[in-house]
Structure 1
Amino acid sequence: MSTAAETAAQLIYAPNVQHNQTLTTVKFLSSCFSGAVAGILGLENWLGFALFFTSTLLTSACIYAINCKGRPAKYLQGGLSELVNPGQDNVFTFILVWTLFFGIVHVYD
């Protein structure tokens, strides 16, 4: 059984890794839903990306206020920049879902 000092000395602390994975999942689902909304509404060009960045900021604001209690540096290594950063995978997911739903809904327009 490890002591508190050994646990603090570990480079990868399992509960923190699990929490970061939860944040990644929330950001991923946010990009999926915003892509679906952009596709269903028929948004094109910059309006779709504006919706993505708005949803990213709204999701980050909710996590900042509710989960981080206004102190993201305490919970995230990168602080606020880590919280607001959408990540390359989420941008590609947004574009994929956006084009999928746009094609499904507006195929005969």
Structure 2
Amino acid sequence: MLHKTKHGVRVVDPINDNPGEILDELAESTATHHSDEVFRFSITEKLRTTVQEQVRKHQFSIMSATKRSEYSLVKYKLNQLKYLSELVGQDYIKQI
């Protein structure tokens, strides 16, 4: 990462920059082979709270649907939880 940014960091202005120049610059650059070392997932506290609230809603829906034997709804809600877990990659969701 240091090697790639030693000549400066590219800041993209979607309004004023020329997309062709940006694409040319990207095409000429070397590929990142270990993206997990360069990019990190981050989540704000507000978004974390929102996700936790959504997880709680799904959890309540699953418990209620189980009591009513609505297993198709249980499956649907579990699939939503799985998707949410994959989307944000948070371990606490997988534990549910």
Q: Please indicate the TM-score interval, normalised by the length of the shorter structure.
A: 0.3 to 0.5
Q: Which has the higher contact order (CA 8 A, sep 6+)?
A: 1
Scaled by the length of structure 2, the TM-score of the pair is 0.37
Q: Which has the larger radius of gyration?
A: 2
- Give the TM-score normalised by the residue count of structure 1: 0.34
| Higher helix content, 1 or 2 | 1
